[in-house]
Structure 1
Amino acid sequence: MPQSLMPWFLVLQRLGIAILTLIIVSFAVFFATELLPGDVAQILLGQAATPEAVAGLRKAMGLDEPAILRFLSWLFGFLRGDLGTSYVNHMAVADLVSGRLVNSLKLAGITTLISVPVALSLGIGAAMWRGSWFDRIVSILTISVISVPEFMVATLSVLIFAVWLGWLPALSYGAADATTFGAMLKAYAMPVITLTFVVSAQMIRMTRAAVIETINTPYVEMALLKGASRKRMVLKHALPNALGPIANAIALSLSYLVGGVIIVETIFNYPGVAKLMVDAVSTRDLPLIQSCAMIFCISYLLLITLADLTAILSNPRLRR
């Protein structure tokens, strides 16, 4: 294969892997929800329902068909944008998810706007003054945050800012109705603080490693030997060549939002897609559970694929 076509071959290969992974994930999501205990028809009709009524409802809902046929019907419907109808609310799943998805995207967007500049500043600063007290403090803090799970960070945030200091509310149930800046600050502060800590810690470590790796290259060391200051060496010579790995670090770090937002929305009662999915599990609303789970899987795959593509296209050897 010609060298000039190698990057595009790798890009198509990553996209193909992402599509194949999505098909496998959809299969796993569907059959994992099928393994949830309890009969949907029995739960909807109640324990006093007769076996005939339960059987009739199962037939009306198509639950008496083979699982593989129901999976294919659900998958093709999902690809067409038809997410099905909620068993509990008797509403289109797309209508239930759309409003909650906007709230989750707001939370992810605010977290990104705060965490990315903070993480890049601390990561580049730690690499610029490697071995200094600033680098040691940043490294200790990031390792400490990485070692603590999301629910512990959320619990500590509640204890500090809501219980001890009394600055912020412990729940974010009014986030969707917040119109003023003060109301939005109170509604989003706790979940954003928790997610920012989790996402920034990973991003700081990866950014620091990417910049240090670029600093150790011969052409950057030559600039230092010629009298360039450390600040000029990092900002002018090392940083432009580390943009690819840094972009890769950002995409990989933001993928942690997908897992962290499920815990954060549940703990702070934030009206997002994750909270909707947790509520659907308690009522065994299978179409709603499957759609929410697929949204999270697609988001995670998009970020991971974006990180892979960034790493491929930023490789100077492949560009040449």
Structure 2
Amino acid sequence: MSPIVRMILGRLALGLLSLVLVSLVIFMAVELLPGDIAQEVLGQSATPETVAAFRAELGLDQAAPIRYVHWLGGVLTGDLGNSLATGRDIGSMIVDRFGKTLFLAGYAAAISVPLAVTLGILAALYRNSIFDRIVNVATLSSISFPEYFVAYILILLLSINTPVFPSIADFGRDPSLGDMLYRTFLPAMTLVLVVTAHMMRMTRASIINLMAQPYIEMARLKGVGPARVILRHALPNALAPIINVVALNLAYLITGVVIVEVVFVYPGLGQLMVDSVAKRDITVVQGCCLVFAGIYILLNLLADVLSIATNPQLLHRK
């Protein structure tokens, strides 16, 4: 068995173990939420007998460990159960919303990744110049503010003061691609401003660290131009850390969109999870959290594999 296959299998095993532990933490956290789903569905006028009968129908009268084992068994067989509030299949609810979350994350990634890598290369090429300082100040400023603050600033500037883009990103059923891109521009730009700084600074730092290497000095002594030195000699050797930070930020784009989706009323998986928390629909909350955790673990594994593919020396311990 090749080392990279062994590494992938080992990481997958650790990922599955991590998912089981995450599922336990999610279940315990949801159990601590205040309120009662049966009372929430039936209303305050329901009698205690009616509430008790409804709780028994939902299986909420069983002990928490028994309900966790039943839920985990269903998850392992691909059955996330049904929503306690609506009775709908949770798998179909998540698939519908997750596609929209992936669209928003992909939209933001298509803008932020090329932009961050380009800015990082230019900042390394013109190190300590006015351009480098402006880019660093701008990216540090954007990363210093929370997502909701950036979102409200964009709404104020581009939706209220200058009504160019809508402040609500719900595009309804069967929209065209152009309408989807137009209505999700503000939430996508919010994510772009938040994640670009990480990737740009890592690209810049990785290239600058390599600029002092002997082979870079040799290329300079041969008369190779600064741009060619960075693009042909420094950048290929800096890909491993850049790929790592890009993959981690892609994971954030998918798992960290909850606040952005709520601000812009975007019908994604994050909005579904927040609505389910408000309704005390614990099975939907558990399913959403488990999907987010699984995506984050898989993207971390992808980052490790791509980093090793660009730099096989990472397989060998020093």
TM category (shorter chain) comes to over 0.9
Give the Cα separation in 2 of the matches to 1:19 and 1:138: 40
Deviation (angstroms), 1:48: 2.1
Corresponding position: 1:208 with 2:204? yes
Corresponding position: 1:52 with 2:49? yes
SS at match of 2:99: helix
- If the length of structure 2 is used for normalisation, what is the TM-score? 0.93
Unaligned 5+ segments in structure 1 are none
Give the Cα separation in 2 of the matches to 1:12 and 1:212: 34
- Which of 154, 161, 169 is the matching residue for 1:157? 154
- Which of 85, 99, 102 is the matching residue for 1:102? 99
SS at match of 2:127: coil
Corresponding position: 1:248 with 2:244? yes
Deviation (angstroms), 1:9: 4.9
Q: Which residue does 1:122 correspond to in 2? A: 119
SS at match of 2:256: helix
Structure 1 contact 174–187 (Cα < 8 Å) conserved = yes
Moved more, 257-266 or 9-18: 9-18
Tell me which amino acid in the other structure corresponds to 1:122. Answer: L
Tell me which amino acid in the other structure corresponds to 2:263. Answer: I
Deviation (angstroms), 1:177: 4.0
Q: Which residue does 2:282 correspond to in 1? A: 286
Tell me which amino acid in the other structure corresponds to 1:269. Answer: V
- If the length of structure 1 is used for normalisation, what is the TM-score? 0.92
Tell me which amino acid in the other structure corresponds to 1:189. Answer: F
Q: Which residue does 2:189 correspond to in 1? A: 193
Give the Cα separation in 2 of the matches to 1:89 and 1:169: 30
Q: Which residue does 2:296 correspond to in 1? A: 300
Tell me which amino acid in the other structure corresponds to 1:288. Answer: V
Q: Which residue does 1:309 correspond to in 2? A: 305
SS at match of 2:86: coil
Tell me which amino acid in the other structure corresponds to 2:228. Answer: R
Deviation (angstroms), 1:311: 3.5
Deviation (angstroms), 1:238: 1.0
Give the Cα separation in 2 of the matches to 1:15 and 1:319: 16
SS at match of 1:130: coil
RMSD (Å), alpha carbons: 1.9
Structure 2 contact 3–315 (Cα < 8 Å) conserved = no
Pairing 1:77-92 to 2, within 5 Å after superposition:
77-92=74-89
Give the Cα separation in 2 of the matches to 1:11 and 1:97: 27
SS at match of 2:219: helix
SS at match of 2:257: helix
Tell me which amino acid in the other structure corresponds to 1:235. Answer: L
Deviation (angstroms), 1:215: 2.1
Give the Cα separation in 2 of the matches to 1:243 and 1:161: 36
Deviation (angstroms), 1:7: 5.1
Corresponding position: 1:16 with 2:13? yes
Distance change (3 Å), C-alpha of 1:98 and 1:317: closer
Tell me which amino acid in the other structure corresponds to 1:174. Answer: F
Give the Cα separation in 1 of the matches to 2:2 and 2:171: 52
Corresponding position: 1:221 with 2:217? yes
Moved more, 211-220 or 118-127: 211-220
